A and B are shown apart, each in its own frame.
Chain A
Amino acid sequence: MSKPTPSLTRRRFLEGATLGAAALPFRARSASAQAKPTITYWNGLTGADGKIMDELIDQFSRETGVRMEQQRIVWADLYAKLQVAVPADEGPDLALIHTVEIPHFASDGIFEPVADATASAKGFKGEDYLPSTWQGGMYQGKRYAIPLDVPQHLLYVNVKVMKEAGLAGPDGKPRIPGTRDEVLAMAKQITKGDTFGFAIGTTNPGRYTWGFHNLLWQNGANVYAADLKKSGLAEPAAIEVAEFWSSIQNQHKIAPPANANCRDAFIAGKLGLWIAGSWNFTGLRDAKVEFVAAPVPRMFKQAVVWTMPHQFTFPKKKAVDGAKRDGAWAHIRWMSDHVAEWTLKAGQVSALRKPHSDSRITGDPVLRTLLGQAGQWQSGQATPKWVAAENITRPVIENVYIGQKPAAAAMGELARQINALPD
C-alpha cells in the first residue's frame, strides 16, 4: 500500500469525516504528527459483519492515514484473552466488546476509564445516543466505553419452508406469527422429517443463553433480582420460561436437537421460524436464502427484544502512547460518523439516533424491522457477575432443553449456584 502524502491525507480526512468543532484539537494534532500510528484493534466480528468492518477500516485508513491492525477471534475467547493479555501489557489499543462485559472488566481494572470531559471534547454526547446504550458504557458512575451499535434478536421466516408447509398467502408472502400460540401452531405444521418448525439461537440452541435471557425478560424475570444481589431464576416466572425451553424439544417436538447448527439448518431450508441475532442477516443474503425479517414474537407477557450493544473501549496500557490513543479516538469518531454504512452493510442498527432517520436505512425492510423494535429493547444487568452467571447457565439450560432435568429443579439449582458465585 502506498503511503498517501500528508496534505492529501488531510484533505481527504476533512472531506470524509464530518467532525464537530469539538474534535478540532485532535485534527490539528494528527495532521501535525509526522508518522501516522498503527493501532491494534481486537473484535469478535467473526461473521459476515467482519468483512464489512474490514472494508470500512480500509476506507478509514485511506482517509485518515491511521492504520489499524485488526485481530479477530470469537467473543468468548476474545474476552478470556483480554483478561490475560491486559495484565501482561499485551492488550490492544482499542477493543470492541459487548455491554454486559463492562462491569466485570471495569471492576478488574482491565479497561481505562474515560473522563466525561474527554468524551465530550471528542464530540461524544449522551443526547446523541439511545439512552440505554449510552448508559451501558458506564459502570459505578464512571464511563468505560462509547457505544457503536445494537445487535438484537429478530425473527427470521424461511419463505421456502413456509410455502412448503402451506403457510404462505396467495401472493407468496409467508404468514408472520406474533404470539406464542401462533408460533407453536405454525411450527407444528412445519415440522416434518428433518425439517424443524422453530428454533432460538445460532449454533447449539440448547445452551443459547441469549435466547433464554430474551424469554426471561419477556416474562418479566431476570438472572438477578432488582437489587442485583440474589438470583431471580428460582422465581415462578423464570421457571415458566425454563418449562417452555424444555417443551419445544420434548413436548411440542418442533425444535432441532441441542447441538444443531440452526443457521446452517435455516440456510439449507430445514428450519422455518428462527429467532436469532441481527448479525446473521447479511450472511443469509450472501447464501441466497429467501427469508422475511419480522419482530420477535411475544412468547410471554411482553414482546421484549434482547439486545447487546457493542461498545468501544480502551484496554489499559502500562504506558499510553498518545498518538495511538488519538488514532483510536479518531477511529471511534469516524465509525460513529459512518455508522449508517455499517448499519446498511452489516445489519447492525446504530446506537446513535441520527442515522435512524436515514432514508437508506428506513428503506430496507430488515433494518426497518430492527428499528421498529427499539421500544422493546432490553439488555443484560450491570453486575460484574453477569458473565460468570451466564457461563454456569449454559449447561443447565441445555439439560433442560434435552429433557434431562425438570425445569423447576434445574432453575432452583442454578439460582443456588449463581448465589454462591464468589465476589
Chain B
Amino acid sequence: MSGSVWRALLTVLMVVLAVAWLLPAVWVLVTSLKLTENIVRVPPEWIPWPATIGHYGEVLFSSSRTARIGRAFFNSIVVSLGSVAVVVLTSAMAAYPLARMRFRGRSLVFGLLVGSLMIPNAVILVPQYVLVQRLGWLSTYQGLIVPEAAMTFAFGVFLLRQFFLTIPSELEDAARIDGADPWRIFTGIVLPLSQPVLGALAIFAFRSAWNDFLWPLIAVNKPDMFPLPVALALLRGAYAAESYGPIMAGAVLSALPLLIVFLVANRRIVEGVRVSALKG
C-alpha cells in the first residue's frame, strides 16, 4: 500500500543516486576505451566508439617507459600481499596471548597498542624514512612491506583479540588435556576457527597497502620500484590527450584487484568492519 509505494519511490531515488555516484568511475572506464584523438572532447562523449583496448595493451605489455604501469602493478601486488602476510601473522600471534593468556604486562601492551591507533602516520613519516634509509631499505620491497605492516599491526591485534575472545575455550581446553602445546592449539584450533575475521583483516590490510600513497612516494627513489598510486600520480604531468588513455587504463587496472575482492567477500568486509568498529 502506501508503505510499499513509498518504498518503491525510495528505491528508485536510491538507484538514481547510485548511478550518479558511479558516473565518475564510468568516465574513467569509458575514457580508457577511447581512441586517443577522441578523448578530449566538448561536449563529453559517454560512448567510447570506436573503442580500443590499445591503452590496456600499452600499459601492460608495451616497452614504453612512460607507462610503466605493468611493472608498478606487479610491485603493488608484491607489496600488498607481503604486507598482508606480515600483518596477519604477527597480529594473530600477538592477539592470541592477549586474549587467552595471563602474563605480566598484558594490559600495558594492549593499552599501548590501542593507544597507538591515535598516532597519526604523518608524525612518523620523517623518522621512519631515516630508519629505513639506515637499514638500506629505500626503494626495496621490504622497505615498503614492513612499514605498511607496522601501520596496520595494532589495528589487527585489536580486531583479532576481540574475535578470539568470542571463541569458546572448551575446544582449547580439551586439546590442552590431550597434551597439545600452545602453538599447536593456536595453529590447529584458533586460526582455523578465525578464518572469517582473518579474511577481513587481510582485506583491510590489502586495501591499505594497495592504496597507500605518501609513504611509497618518499620511500622509493627508483621509478621501477614505484607502486601503482605513485606511478599514476607521477605521470600526471603528462596529463593530456596523449596520455589520458594509458593513465585511465592504469586506473581501471589498479581498481580491479580490490573490486574482485570486494565482490567476492562483501559480507566478510561488513562483518570485519562491524567487529572492529562497533564491538570495541
Contacts and interface: CB of A to CB of B under 8 A. Distances in A.
B139 interface: yes
B102 interface: no
Interface in B224-239: 224, 234-239
A50 to B, nearest CB: 4
Contact of A46 (B37, B133, B221, B243): B243
Interface string B57-80: 000000111101000000000000
* Residue among B133, B234, B240 with most chain A CB within 10 A: B240
Contact of B240 (A58, A71, A269, A283): A283
A116 interface: no
A84 B221 CA distance: 7
A402 B223 CA distance: 35
Nearest to B234: A73
B65 A54 contact: yes
B41 to A, nearest CB: 6
A46 B237 contact: yes
Contact of B36 (A42, A50, A76, A287): A287
Contacts of B36: 286-287
Interface string A11-22: 000000000000
B130 to A, nearest CB: 12
Contacts of B117: none
Contacts of A81: 221, 223
A46 B42 contact: no
A270 interface: yes
A261 interface: yes
Interface string B225-264: 0000000001111111111000000000000000000000
B205 interface: no
A70 B37 CA distance: 27
B221 A72 contact: no
B67 to A, nearest CB: 9
Contacts of A44: 237
Given A46-B235, A268-B42, A288-B37, A70 B240 contact: no
Given A50-B65, A268-B42, A85 B222 contact: yes
Interface string B22-58: 0000000000000011001110000000000000000
Interface string A28-69: 000000000000001011111011001000100000000001
B138 interface: yes
A127 interface: no
A287 B37 contact: yes
Contact of A268 (B41, B224, B238): B41
Contacts of A73: 223, 234-235, 237
A54 B235 contact: no
Contact of A47 (B65, B68, B221, B242): B242
A218 to B, nearest CB: 26
A69 B224 CA distance: 9
A73 to B, nearest CB: 4
Given A90-B139, A287-B37, A288-B37, A51 B42 contact: no
Contacts of B218: 84
Contacts of A203: 239
Nearest to A47: B238
B235 A74 contact: yes
B64 A54 contact: yes
A203 B239 CA distance: 8
Contacts of A283: 240-242
Contacts of A88: 133, 138, 221
A128 interface: no
Contacts of B234: 73-74, 77
A267 B238 CA distance: 14
A348 to B, nearest CB: 16
* Residue among B64, B133, B235, B241 with most chain A CB within 10 A: B241
A269 B133 CA distance: 49
A122 interface: no
A108 interface: no
A74 B237 contact: yes
Interface in B189-221: 218, 221
* Residue among B36, B41, B234 with most chain A CB within 10 A: B234
Contact of B223 (A50, A72, A267): A72
B245 to A, nearest CB: 11
Interface in B105-135: 133
B241 A287 contact: yes
* Residue among B64, B139, B222 with most chain A CB within 10 A: B222
A71 B222 contact: yes
Nearest to B39: A287
A69 B222 CA distance: 11
A58 B63 CA distance: 10
Nearest to B223: A71
A310 interface: no
Nearest to B235: A46
Contacts of B41: 268
B235 A264 contact: no
Q: Which 5 A-B pairs have the closest CB atoms?
A: A74-B237, A71-B223, A85-B221, A46-B238, A70-B65
16 contacts: A46-B66, A46-B237, A47-B243, A48-B242, A50-B66, A70-B65, A71-B223, A73-B234, A85-B221, A88-B221, A90-B139, A194-B42, A263-B240, A263-B241, A286-B37, A286-B242
Given A72-B65, A268-B40, A287-B37, 13 more contacts: A47-B243, A50-B66, A51-B64, A72-B66, A77-B234, A81-B223, A261-B239, A261-B240, A268-B42, A270-B42, A280-B240, A283-B241, A286-B37
Interface of B: 36-37, 40-42, 63-66, 68, 133, 138-139, 218, 221-224, 234-243
